[in-house]
Amino acid sequence: MGADAVLILRSVTDVDSRMNPLSVLNVTIVGMWLIPGHHTDALTMVEGMVIDNRNQFLYFAGSAEGLGSTYGPALVIQDRDAIGESRRNALHSFGEVLIKEARQAKAYVPGPRYETPGK
């Protein structure tokens, strides 16, 4: 592709679903459609790095995580809402970490060159 630097991202998501006390009303047909008796939590962890494509120099490596949750009736709730929210939060957190590290790298001033003794 001819890129000078490459951003590599890897993510993993875990979902936890549980019932809350209102789920007792699931015995009725109306309760399964209207009563918010189920709760879903999602956790996404993102790891990434920026590598120079020519000399394999690692500019940045970091990780971030994001949470997402939703609740609703048994027949309406979907895990993908919590998953989407957790992924957005994780990418947002990762972006903040990447920007923070990039600003620190920009402010870095190297010291004087070290000359090898005897040369």
pLDDT in tens, 70-105: 988 877 888 899 999 999 999 999 999 999 888 877
39-44 average pLDDT score: 93
Pick the more confident residue, 104 or 51. Answer: 51
Mean pLDDT of 110-117: 62
Taking all residues of the chain, what is their mean pLDDT, rounded to a whole number? 84
Nearest to 70 by CA among 100, 37, 98: 37
Q: Is the dihedral of CA 20, 82, 16, 76 positive or negative?
A: positive
Q: Phi, psi (5° rounding) for residue 55?
A: -115, 10
Q: What is the mean pLDDT of residues 64-69?
A: 95
52 DSSP 8-state letter: E
Q: Is the pLDDT of residue 111 over 60?
A: no
| Residue 73 and residue 37 in contact, taking contact as beta carbons nearer than 8 Å | yes
